[in-house]
Amino acid sequence: MYISELGDLWHRARREPATVHLDSAAASRSSIETIDAVTAHLWREAERGSYVAEDQVSELLLRCRRDITSLIGRGDDELYFRESARSALRALLTGWQLPLSASVWVGTNEFGPNLDEFERRGYVVRTMPTVDTGGHIDTDALQNMLQFEQPDFIHVCHIGAHSATVQPVARVVELAREAGVPVVVDMAQTLGHLDCVIDADVVYGTSRKWLAGPRGVGFVAVRDDSKLSVNLQSSDAYIAGRLGLGVSLQEYHTLGAGRVQKELARIGRVTRERLTGVGSWEVVESVDEPCATTTLAPPPGWDATDVEAAAARLLSNGILLTCAHPWRAPLATEQSVLRVSPHLDVSYGQLDNLAAALRELSY
Ligand SMILES: *Cc1c(COP(=O)(O)O)cnc(C)c1O
């Protein structure tokens, strides 16, 4: 039985997976229509010539652009496509005229590869204070700090890649704006998952995770009235992928963004309730963290290799999830965890299977 009332619709739009797929935070399963849109365009390119084919789908591409910008509450001309979230960040940082040794404030959940981008460019990175062990940004403390000092920008992962902590980005943006500090939000884990209409100066993300679009499509939106003047357009483009993403977005809007978000949060709560106290695994987040992702800390004494082996064992038992190592959030943790990220068609039975498999692994 599906946990969500949207489970059946989501499931029927897709091919039957070969595994229990609990890995949307890495990449979701695309729908049959999404895959058809990609392949149809690849054939069109071969038959008519790629640039002719692109002209023929210009209306659809425009609709895809609109569907993304409505998701993030931005204007159509503020959006640039890139091939991934990381390349969106790189293009932004390359084009942005920041001072030497620019200062950036981040949350403790900051994605390791983003920190590498900052360090490569010689930025001075500082961690914002947190209110709890989950690493939620302490916005009262932030407000205080901003009165005395303003970084060149704040960068926040709405959700990071090693935990399910949902950062209070709307409040961070509000405070930063009062202090005249631009905010960049990494929405790789939240587009298609949480409400992303947040008035940050820059937001960026990717197609393949919760939106269930194709791989190889990312995007970045820069507010027109932010003081950044950058051209982020890439020279070539995966047009077929954008068309596929367009279909995924239509499906998402048809289900209803608000409803999907609510159901995914419910799935997260049910998952954490079911996995609490299973073997010696520990559910890291609080039960009601408002998202679908759950992370599990291993039994005491287990190291990275043990967790890796656990993920491999689960996969050989037909259960796909992520073994998340600390490089994903080096400011927060030294621990490897299992990340469980089901989409709308997860069933109670699948969670029970996971629980049984985890219990077995603990001994
Ligand atoms: C996946 C992820 C990225 C990188 O996305 P790519 O499209 O693979 O470049 C960045 N930040 C977070 C939080 C992620 O989860």
Contact 109, 167 (CB under 8 A): yes
Q: Is the distance from the beta carbon of residue 167 to the nearest atom of ligand 1 less than 6 Å? A: no
Residue 233 CB-density burial (10 A; 0-12 exposed, 13-18 middle, 19+ buried): exposed
| Nearest residue to 1 (alpha-carbon basis) of 348, 260, 350, 356 | 348
The answer, yes or no, to whether any atom of ligand 1 lies below 6 A from the CB of 107, is: no
Q: Is the CB of 241 within 6 Å of ligand 1?
A: no
Answer yes or no: is the C-beta of 160 below 6 A from any ligand 1 atom.
yes
Query: Quick one: pLDDT band at residue 232, thresholds 50, 70, 90?
Result: confident
Sheet containing 337-340: give its strands across: 282-283, 294-297, 337-340, 322-324
Q: Is the pLDDT of residue 106 over 80?
A: yes
Closest residue CA from atom 2 of ligand 1:
188
Residues sharing a CB contact under 8 Å with residue 307, sequence separation 6 or more, in sequence order: 298, 323, 336, 337, 338
- pLDDT over threshold 70, residue 363: no
Instruction: Give residue 212's Cα distance to chain centre.
Output: 11
Q: Ligand 1 in contact with 279 (CB < 6 A)?
A: no
| Model confidence, pTM | 0.97
Q: Give 174 Cα–ligand 1 centroid separation in angstroms.
A: 24
Domains and CATH numbers, the chain: 7-30+257-361 (3.90.1150.10), 33-255 (3.40.640.10)
Q: What is the pLDDT of residue 113?
A: 98
Q: What separation in angstroms does the CA of 258 have from each of 36, 189, 194, 195, 211? A: 26, 16, 8, 7, 14
> Could you tell me if the CB of 186 is within 6 A of ligand 1?
yes
Sole residue written with tokens 């010539």: 49
Answer whether residue 235 shows pLDDT above 90: no
pLDDT band at 226 (very low <50, low <70, confident <90, very high): confident
Give the mean pLDDT of 328-350: 97
Structure tokens at 326: 């600390």
Average pLDDT rounded to a whole number, residues 107-111: 98
Q: Return the residue whose CA atom lies nearest to atom 15 of ligand 1.
A: 161
Q: Calculate how far, in angstroms, residue 86's C-alpha sits from the geometric centre of ligand 1.
A: 6
Work out the average pLDDT over 324-343.
Answer: 97
